[in-house]
A and B are shown apart, each in its own frame.
Chain A
Amino acid sequence: MGVRKSYEEINAKIRSGQAVVVSAEEIIPMVKEQGAEKIAQTVDVVTTATFGPMCSSGVFLNFGHTDPPIRMKKVWLNGVSAYAGIAAVDAYLGATEEAEDREPEELYGGAHVIQELLEGRQVHLEAIGTGTDCYPLREWESDIFLSEINEAILYNPRNAYQNYAAAANSSPDTLYTYMGVLLPNLSNVTYSTSGELSPLLNDPEYRTVGVGSRIFLGGAVGYVTGHGTQHNSARERLPNGVPLGGAATLGVTGNLKEMSPDFIQAAVYEKYGVSLFVGIGIPMPVLDAEMVTCLAVSDADIFTGLVDYGVQRRSRPILAKVSYAELKSGQINFNGRLVPTAPLSSMKKARQIAAVLADWIRAGQFFIQEPAERLPLGKSLSSLNDRKRC
């Protein structure tokens, strides 16, 4: 009978400052040398992390009431429209929304506003309302600071993708995509996960990650709200449980006021648009040897499809199946030809996040929250089809 640890036992060790915490990279050679059972006895928590561009991100803001009051119908922050169809002075600013009053090539958007708020900079607010008996004001304009508004709650509907397809381009033209600049005739490959350090690749069937999981989000404590949009856990899997491409996603939330610009960063992709780098770290409790086996997954055991963005259709051809060991080596062998590869998410930052989270846990400041619900398994994707064409 192997060791079994409960969340309570692991949290008791954290509370007493005795918890043994390592990263999902550090555990790999440890398991090779000592075996899963031994590591299940000696390690309590494994930290995973990612720092990548996550377009499906944004922030709920409550500005406080004006005098006389206004029910904001349309809202702009530094010229970027925020969705205001929620109560009087609430709005949701999406990371990819682009400024209306600037040249498109300037690529300034919601992500930049979020970053400027986070950096303590002044942001210009404009709002219009209908004018009602209870909210008579029709227009408002002022400057705001993050510290002075009531709430800024980051709520990202789809983050921390469990695996993601690598990208290449077979067409004769350079393509400018959210997967970076793809050179013509399959001259480069880009990929965007932290592989063996990536959160959901270390818990492939969501044993410990789900509704209410406490996480590192943007430098602060955040929570998993549930599965994210486009959650596709029915994706084909390898025998080790790891899906062969984009699968599960997470909805995450946290207080922007507590976050750090070191772990939230606006980004632009030429001729595509604006995005937001989000730093996420998820601690995995070492419940037993089976969990250790999942946590010991290495880049050589994780595969993804190489997708051809040269074909501009919903179902793009998959040119090859590649491992993260190959992708991270700097080149892949594609039909006998060596093609250079490049990451889009930062391994350096991901390692930093895993280390910070480990320090929080070792210091007895961060506890592991058992999820109220696990993420759904076997959920597949629907597509949007034009019924008239069917």
Chain B
Amino acid sequence: MRRRFTIKFPPESTNIPLTYHLIKDYNFMVNILRAAISGEQEGRLLIEVEAEEENLERGLAFLKSHNVTIIPLDQQVTVDKTRCIHCGACTAVCFSGSLAMDRNNWELVFDSEKCVMCGLCVTACPLRIIQAEFK
């Protein structure tokens, strides 16, 4: 199973090699897409993981036992579809292919699983209806 999400860990967990344990103990294949530590020493990691279903569940439970919050990408990036005019300007900067045009009906398609939280679409949108926060 492949999943992409942000993990947010509190200051007391920043010294624990969480990613190491995910790989070593739960056989995760981990691709780190984005990482940051805030001024309050809160860590954030955008990762894509691939693991067997059972390992995935155990690995995520391990993270939670260290007070880590797991945030799905569709909660971090939102497009206000009710206001979207489907112009396509946001797709010009979306190199990950998360925002793309359906070339049959020319509607904007948003696949949060491809998003790397670069934030370029936020400013590229002429209606300013995309919100993306790496939190």
Q: Known pairs A180-B93, A346-B85, A351-B106. 13 more at Cβ < 8 A?
A: A52-B87, A180-B124, A181-B123, A181-B124, A183-B92, A267-B127, A330-B100, A342-B89, A343-B88, A344-B89, A344-B92, A345-B87, A346-B87
Which chain B residue lies CB-closest to A277? B85
Q: How far is the CA of A277 from the CA of B84 in the complex (A)?
A: 12
Contact between chains at B89 and A190 (CB < 8 Å): yes
Interface residues on chain B, number (Cβ under 8 Å): 21
Instruction: Give per-residue flags for B86-113: 1 if the beta carbon is below 8 A from chain A beta carbons, else 0.
Output: 1111011101000011010111000000
Q: Select one of B100, B107, B120, B126 contacting A53, CB under 8 A.
A: B126
- Whether B2 is near chain A, meaning CB under 8 Å from some CB there, is no
Which chain B residue lies CB-closest to A267? B126
Give A238-270 interface residues, CB cut-off 8 Å to B. 265, 267-270
Contact between chains at B127 and A348 (CB < 8 Å): no
Interface residues on chain A, number (Cβ under 8 Å): 30
- Whether B128 is near chain A, meaning CB under 8 Å from some CB there, is yes
Q: How far is the CA of A343 from the CA of B101 in the complex (A)?
A: 9
**Distance in Å: Cβ of A251 to nearest Cβ of chain B:** 24
Q: How far is the CA of A275 from the CA of B88 in the complex (A)?
A: 16
Instruction: Give per-residue flags for B118-135: 1 if the beta carbon is below 8 A from chain A beta carbons, else 0.
Output: 001001101110000000
Contact between chains at B123 and A330 (CB < 8 Å): no
Q: How far is the CA of A346 from the CA of B127 in the complex (A)?
A: 13
Contact between chains at B103 and A346 (CB < 8 Å): no
Q: Select one of A268, A329, A342 contacting B91, CB under 8 A.
A: A342
Instruction: Give per-residue flags for B45-81: 1 if the beta carbon is below 8 A from chain A beta carbons, else 0.
Output: 0000000000000000000000000000000000000
Known: A343-B87, A345-B87. A181 touches B92 (CB 8 A): yes
Contact between chains at B92 and A342 (CB < 8 Å): yes
Known: A275-B126, A277-B87, A343-B87. A190 touches B106 (CB 8 A): no
Contact between chains at B85 and A180 (CB < 8 Å): no
Contact between chains at A328 and B87 (CB < 8 Å): no
Contact between chains at A265 and B85 (CB < 8 Å): yes
Contact between chains at B86 and A180 (CB < 8 Å): no
Q: How far is the CA of A51 from the CA of B120 in the complex (A)?
A: 24
- Whether A349 is near chain B, meaning CB under 8 Å from some CB there, is yes
CB-defined A-B contacts under 8 Å, sample of 7: A51-B85, A188-B93, A265-B85, A330-B103, A342-B92, A348-B85, A349-B86
Instruction: Give per-residue flags for A319-351: 1 if the beta carbon is below 8 A from chain B beta carbons, else 0.
Output: 000000000111000000000101111111101
Instruction: Give per-residue flags for A343-374: 1 if the beta carbon is below 8 A from chain B beta carbons, else 0.
Output: 11111110100000000000000000000000
Q: List 5 A-B pairs, minimum CB-CB distance, nearest first.
A: A342-B92, A267-B126, A347-B106, A343-B88, A270-B123
